[in-house]
Homo-oligomer: A and B are copies of this chain.
């Protein structure tokens, strides 16, 4: 989609530089001057094109969202949400800036972060419903909540990637291409795939005692609450 040669319009070059810098340093730390320098233009031109720094941010939001949305449509096939992250990582460097941008957006108060998370949840829910139909995924009572949990677990690898690699000692130090994607390296993903799938296949607990206990506790809680409603 994007040509490797630098034949972009100046406006697009500024926007891409901003996406990279906002993702790397965060929106408030990244300055218009730095964006301009990276894009090879004057600071004034950045404002001329986008009106303000906030306008630049919205243009970045919109562009990253459009990129990942079209990407999501193409890759709607794979059976596991895990593949969503993995697919991005298989394009080494090409989507690194967008990944970092989304990672920041998920932490900030951002329209792009909200939309991206919701899109992942919706896609996950679709996968679960199809999997239940096909008999490959268990038939859950609350599909929506389950989808939120699975999406949350998957995106945790994106948001906490830096910590994952450090905790596993797979960190190859700064400057590696892993740092560009928030710490998730192909090696790290390989190390975590089987343990994660193991939990998703056979569970984490040895039996259902914790689940049963929680069910009882919640029912007792509800009963107490209802009782208090009648006698406050």
B205 touches A204 (CB 8 A): no
Please tell me how many copies of the chain the complex holds: 2
- Interface of chain A residues 139 through 174 with chain B (CB within 8 A): 140-142, 144-146, 148-153, 155-157, 159-160, 162-164, 166-168
A114 contacts the other chain (Cβ, under 8 Å)? yes
| Most chain B beta-carbon contacts within 10 A, residue among A151, A167, A193, A211 | A167
A136 touches B206 (CB 8 A): yes
Q: Which residue of B lies closest to A125 (CB)?
A: B167
Our pick among B138, B141, B163 for the contact of A106 (Cβ within 8 Å) is B163
Our pick among B80, B104, B114, B157 for the contact of A163 (Cβ within 8 Å) is B114
B202 touches A163 (CB 8 A): no
A197 touches B214 (CB 8 A): yes
- Which residues in B have their C-beta under 8 angstroms from that of A104? 107
- Which residues in B have their C-beta under 8 angstroms from that of A113? 163
B200 touches A204 (CB 8 A): yes
Q: Which residue of B lies closest to A201 (CB)?
A: B211
A202 touches B203 (CB 8 A): yes
- Which residues in B have their C-beta under 8 angstroms from that of A205? 131, 136-138, 200-201
A209 contacts the other chain (Cβ, under 8 Å)? yes
B202 touches A138 (CB 8 A): yes
A191 contacts the other chain (Cβ, under 8 Å)? yes
A interface, CB within 8 angstroms of B? 26, 28-29, 79-80, 104, 106-109, 113-114, 117-118, 121, 131, 135-138, 140-142, 144-146, 148-153, 155-157, 159-160, 162-164, 166-168, 190-211, 214-215, 218, 221
